[in-house]
Each structure stands twice: as C-alpha cells, then as structure tokens.
Amino acid sequence: MTRNDRITAQAGRVASGLAGTMIAALALAGCTPQSPGMGAAIEKPAAGAPDASAGPSLTSDGYGPLGVGMSLDNIAHAFSPEGGGELIGRAGGDACLEGVPTGAPEGLRVMVENGKLTRVTLGEGATARTSLGVGVGDPASAVEAAYGHRVVTDAARFDPAPAQVKTVWTRNGPTGRRPTADETARGLRFEIGADGIIHTIHGGGRSIQYEEGCS
C-alpha cells in the first residue's frame, strides 16, 4: 500500500467515526425528555410583570372600569352596567366627596371632585394590587422593591413616626417633595402605618396628595 493509499484509508475511518458519533447524539437528543422547568422558565413573566389572571390592578389612571376624569354617573354604574348603581356612603360636599360604587370590590373607594373621578383608593380588606404587584398588607419595603428610585418618602402628617407616605409620580409630577396643583399629574401614594405595613394605596391625580379626606 502506497503512502497516499494509507492517508486515504485513515481519512475514511475518521469520517466514518464522526458520522457515527453525530447519529448517536441526534438519537439521544430526540429521546431525552426536556428538563423539568425549562419551558416554565422560558415563559415565566419578568419580575414585576402584572399577573393578567389576577383581575384589574390599581394604576395612576384608575382601576378596571374606573378612569380618572370619569363622570359621577358613570362611576356609580361602573360595576353595575345593567343599572341600579349608585355611590354609596358619600362623604363631603359637591366640590369633593368620597364613596363606594355599587358592586365595587371590597376595600375600594373613590374620590370625586367637581363631578369627576380624581382618585381610586384601596383600603382595609382590599385584595387588588397595583400593576407592579404591591398591595395593602405588604411591608413598606415592597414599594421600593417595585418602583425603585422613583419613590419619594415623607413622614405622615397625622400619624406618629415611623408612619410614612411613599409617592410615585408616573406623569407630570412635581420635582422633589413639593406638592403639585397640576391637573394632568398622575401617580400612586402608599400610606404606611407605624407597624411598617401598607394600610392604604391611592391612585390618580393630584388628589392622591390629600391625607385627610378632601384636604
């Protein structure tokens, strides 16, 4: 056998071995079940993503069928489209009042100023959450965890320390801690008790700044 014949035969054996290895690998891949959790990991929502199955969430623009700027009549019927709706437990005068629309989820109430919705509030008993998953009963740290550097923290006006309020402006909010009178401002405000737990969450316009009813 010449030198060229030996080189040709050796190359053939190498090629045959590689082909066999590739065929075995492909067969193994076809028969090996997917590792548990791989599909779930790929489809898992990003951290902080809203859970679509959990129902409406509170945002700076409202909650579900309730939107900032909605008329009093539409508010009253937001959760009872077939009629018979009203705003229950009204408190305040014509310029500003608070109440609960018929059929509203537990713990939800609204603020109406000059006939228009300006704020939606989640209080005791509420199970709804913000679009980033923060809810009543969560620790204060949940606000920073969800909203990061956008959170502005202040001492509560009417409750002793360490009670505090945390505000997140999402649109046209003020710079720093000064209040705003801008009707186009939108944000969320979290009221936290001395126990370090979120007791109330407001979403809406500049009225989220009110800490005692309509003031």
Q: What is the CATH number of the domain that holds 70?
A: 2.60.460
Please name the residue ranges forming H helices in the chain: 3-31, 38-43, 72-76, 141-147
154: Cβ contacts below 8 Å, ≥ 6 apart? 164, 165, 166, 167, 177
Query: Residue 159 falls within a domain, yes or no?
Result: yes
User: Cis (ω within 30 of 0) for the bond into 162?
Assistant: yes
Q: Which residues of the chain form beta strands (DSSP E)? A: 58-59, 62-63, 66-67, 87-92, 96-101, 108-113, 116-122, 151-155, 164-171, 186-192, 198-204
Report pLDDT for 88. Answer: 86
- The 10 Å Cβ neighbour count of residue 172 is 14
| Pair 87, 33 in one domain | no
Report if residue 195 sits inside a domain. Answer: yes
Dihedrals phi, psi of 28, to nearest 5 degrees: -65, -40
Range of the domain at 24: 1-44
Answer whether residue 140 is part of any domain. Answer: yes
The residues near 156 (Cβ < 8 Å, ≥ 6 apart) are 163, 164, 165, 191, 192, 211
Strand order in the sheet with 96-101: 87-92, 96-101, 108-113, 116-122, 198-204, 186-192, 164-171, 151-155
For residue 47, the model assigns a pLDDT of 52
Do 35 and 130 sit in the same domain of this protein? no
**Which pLDDT does position 36 carry in this prediction?**
35
Q: What is residue 214's predicted lDDT score, i.e. its pLDDT?
A: 85
Q: Are residues 38 and 63 in the same domain?
A: no
Residue 152 CA to residue 175 CA, distance in Å, equals 10
Q: Are residues 26 and 64 in the same domain?
A: no
Residues 115 and 158 in one domain: yes
Same domain, 23 and 121: no
How far is the C-alpha of 115 from the C-alpha of 117, rounded, in Å?
7
Asked if residue 108 and residue 64 are part of one domain, the reply reads: yes
Domain shared by 66 and 152, yes or no: yes
Q: Is 65 in the same domain as 158?
A: yes
Query: Looking at this protein, which amino acid is placed at residue 38?
Result: M
Answer yes or no: are the C-beta atoms of 130 and 138 closer than 8 Å: no
- Shared domain for 31 and 62, answered yes or no, is no
Count of structural domains within the chain: 2
Report pLDDT for 87: 87
Residue 51 lies in a domain: no
Are both 20 and 76 inside the same structural domain?
no
* Number of other residues whose CB lies within 10 A of the CB of residue 94: 9
CA 154 to CA 156: how far, in whole Å? Answer: 6
On whether both 10 and 34 belong to a single domain, the answer is yes
Kindly state whether residue 96 falls inside one of the protein's structural domains: yes
- Bridge partner list, 145: none
- Asked if the structure places residue 215 within a domain, the reply is no
Q: Using 50 as the pLDDT threshold, list the residues of the chain that sit under it.
A: 2-46, 48, 50, 52
Does a structural domain hold residue 49? no
Residue 50 lies in a domain: no
